């Protein structure tokens, strides 16, 4: 099985393209110097490559063990977590007032990629804690912050989000979990939550559950939901939070996906009564970006594995002539179709990295204490791009995983090579934190049409401004011209769907997935254009080092524009196809 290696040059290239050093200075993160970032990346790479990556297949083979409410994680997971905490990684991108190191959240995003690529199942145990911390920081009382944030920041405790119930998934208005008030201001929480990642484990001494529940006098539906802190242990004593079972899953076996029973567990209200969904979206938006990171991690890991195999495996002769005359056959990387698969993986991975890191910058800016036009723009673009990143990158991640298996041929179907594990681990990413369809409906319905495309217009205007600037490098003109045309078409398609939806609201649901994928390919084209511009600019310097790396970036951009971006044409036809053929049969006729 191929062991993960940190793509450090690619990471630095994206950070340079985004002018990350200047960004850190702009947001007041003065300690995030180039030398400091380099040291952090080096140490994170060592930990992920040497400690986490070797445990990836172990976690898949052993899985988690459940015994009478207790969960035992796979061999080595607990020791790795202890080392992770001792080295201070959980506190890296948290505020100093709560025991954090004060680094930008965007840098934490980069470290999340490394951990997720090395061992996604392990990374999930601490991953959701960051969403819990953000929710507490924004909506918790002073006392709640003092009591819960420091142990969460340090990694002494971990956190979860408890939304889904047996009878409801996305439609949280159907949830039944009850919150009965006590005289001391606390609440007794009663109900069952399912699909709770890292809901129970043996890594940390306490688990803080962030739980949605309904008070007795609250209205039905989503307007009557409140948010609560429900710790596993309260003042060192058990709190009637019991893991009923763990799921037997297709993938991510090393992470416990739990059924959690709350049997009169004591909880504490976060934020205003009946505003739980509003508060929970803080958690959800973080989780959606984190899930996009899983898509990127899948792409990177699958690409590394299939690339290494393609450089070792021999089969047939190249159609353009023998490449290895001393050998009985040529390497499969000499075959054009194998290169098609490898370049698809490469283009998706490097373009998605750029998008996810860009989202990290928006998070940093949006969270600044002084709100202005820049923070407003960052927040708006976050809202627009988060569902695109979550859905498009995870869908492309699944494609990359399957291409990785295909490069291996029959060996890809065999467990020892690790490729089929990547396929199984990746598949959940398109489902949790909102399926692709839900993200698409959120994008088209809530993020675009609800404001008549105002935010989309701002974003496409930014694309067009960049394209005009980039044309000062003559080699950029083909990319820029294509991207300008596509950005205008994106706005035009939005208008056409909006007009059709005025007559029939089903038109939104019928078009939304193709619309999101079209948007994803367009956004990645913008990311690749920026990287190509950065590469061309670097090559203009006579003292340029790593010339071949920059040339490879440009060549990958050319591949993306020629072989992947044309998929927008088919998606355009589909999303304009209307809902008639979808809705003309009655349910009984299926």
Enumerate the active-site residues: 433
Per DSSP, the three-state class of 230 is strand
Positive or negative, the Cα torsion across 189, 190, 196, 198?
positive
CA dist 29 → 36, 86, 95, 103, 359 (Å): 11, 23, 11, 7, 17
| Residues in contact with 232: Cβ distance below 8 Å, sequence separation at least 6, in sequence order | 200, 206, 207, 208, 209, 238, 239, 241
- Helices (H) and strands (E) counted in the chain, each on its own, are 19, 11
Pairing of strands 178-181, 65-67: unpaired
Question: In the block, which residue shows the tokens 């990295």?
Answer: 353
479 contacts 468 by C-beta, under 8 angstroms:
no
In the chain, what is the straight-line distance between the N-terminal and C-terminal CA atoms, in Å? 44
- Residue 268's beta-bridge partner residues? 229
Q: Rounded to an integer, what distance in angstroms lies between the CA atom of residue 193 and that of residue 257?
A: 11
Six-digit token string for 484: 């300008």
CA angle 461, 462, 465 (to 5 degrees): 85
Q: How many CB atoms lie within 10 A of CB 87?
A: 14
Buried b (16+ CB within 10 A) or exposed e, 315-354: eebbeeeeeeeeeeebbbbbbeebeebbbbbbbbbbbbbb
Q: How many CB atoms lie within 10 A of CB 445?
A: 15
Q: Rounded to an integer, what distance in angstroms lies between the CA atom of residue 145 and that of residue 147?
A: 5
Cα 221 to chain centroid distance, Å, stands at: 29
Please state the length of the chain. 590
Six-digit token string for 171: 């439609």
106 contacts 11 by C-beta, under 8 angstroms:
no
Pairing of strands 70-72, 65-67: antiparallel
459 contacts 421 by C-beta, under 8 angstroms:
no
Per DSSP, the three-state class of 228 is strand
CA dist 216 → 129, 178, 220, 241 (Å): 29, 7, 10, 21
Contacts 24+ apart (CB under 8 A), 547-553: 549/9, 549/13, 553/13, 553/350
């Amino acid at each position: 099985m191929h062991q993960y290696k940190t793509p450090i040059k690619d990471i630095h290239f994206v950070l340079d393209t985004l002018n990350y050093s200047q960004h850190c200075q702009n947001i007041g993160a003065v300690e995030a110097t180039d030398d400091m970032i380099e040291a952090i990346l080096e140490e994170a790479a060592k930990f992920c490559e040497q400690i986490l990556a070797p445990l990836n297949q172990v976690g898949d083979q052993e899985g988690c063990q459940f015994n009478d409410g207790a969960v035992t994680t796979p061999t080595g997971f607990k020791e790795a977590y202890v080392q992770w905490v001792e080295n201070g990684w959980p506190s890296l991108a948290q505020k100093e007032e709560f025991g954090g190191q004060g680094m930008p959240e965007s840098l934490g995003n980069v470290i999340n990629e490394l951990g997720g690529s090395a061992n996604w199942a392990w990374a999930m145990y601490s991953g959701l804690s960051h969403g819990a911390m953000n929710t507490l920081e924004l909506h918790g009382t002073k006392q709640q912050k003092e009591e819960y944030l420091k142990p969460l920041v340090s990694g002494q405790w971990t956190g979860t989000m408890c939304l889904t119930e047996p009878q409801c998934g996305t439609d949280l208005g159907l949830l039944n979990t009850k919150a009965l008030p006590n005289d001391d201001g606390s609440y007794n929480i009663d109900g069952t939550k399912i699909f709770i990642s890292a809901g129970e484990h043996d890594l940390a001494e306490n688990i803080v559950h962030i739980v949605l529940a309904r008070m007795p006098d609250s209205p039905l539906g989503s307007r009557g939901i409140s948010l609560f802190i429900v710790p596993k242990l309260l003042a060192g004593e058990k709190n009637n939070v019991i893991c009923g079972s763990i799921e037997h899953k297709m993938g991510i076996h090393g992470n416990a996906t739990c059924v959690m029973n709350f049997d009169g567990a004591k909880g504490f209200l976060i934020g205003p009564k009946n505003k739980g969904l509003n508060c929970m979206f803080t958690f959800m938006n973080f989780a959606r970006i984190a899930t996009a990171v899983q898509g990127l991690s899948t792409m990177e890991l699958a690409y590394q594995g299939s690339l290494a195999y393609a450089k070792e495996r021999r089969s047939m002769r190249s159609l353009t002539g023998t490449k290895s005359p001393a050998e009985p056959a040529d390497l499969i990387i000499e075959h054009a179709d194998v290169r098609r698969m490898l370049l698809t993986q490469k283009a998706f991975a490097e373009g998605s990295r750029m998008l996810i890191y860009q989202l990290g910058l928006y998070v940093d800016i949006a969270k600044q204490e002084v709100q202005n036009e820049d923070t407003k723009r960052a927040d708006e673009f976050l809202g627009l791009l988060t569902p695109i990143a979550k859905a498009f990158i995870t869908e492309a991640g699944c494609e990359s995983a399957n291409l990785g298996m295909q490069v291996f041929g029959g060996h890809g179907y065999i467990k020892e090579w690790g490729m089929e594990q990547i396929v199984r681990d990746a598949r959940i990413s398109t489902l949790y934190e909102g399926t692709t369809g839900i993200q698409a409906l959120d994008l088209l319905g809530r993020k675009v049409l609800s404001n008549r495309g105002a935010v989309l217009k701002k974003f496409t205007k930014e694309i067009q401004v960049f394209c005009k600037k980039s044309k000062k490098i003559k080699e950029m003109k083909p990319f820029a011209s294509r991207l300008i045309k596509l950005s205008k078409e994106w706005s035009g398609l939005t208008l056409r769907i909006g007009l059709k939806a005025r007559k029939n609201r089903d038109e939104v649901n019928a078009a939304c997935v193709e619309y999101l994928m079209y948007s994803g390919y367009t956004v990645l084209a913008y990311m690749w254009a920026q990287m190509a511009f950065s590469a061309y600019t670097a090559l203009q310097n006579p003292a340029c080092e790593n010339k071949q790396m920059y040339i490879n970036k440009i060549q990958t951009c050319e591949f993306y524009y020629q072989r992947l971006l044309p998929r927008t044409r088919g998606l355009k036809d589909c999303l304009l196809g209307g809902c008639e053929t979808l809705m003309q049969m009655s349910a009984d006729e299926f």
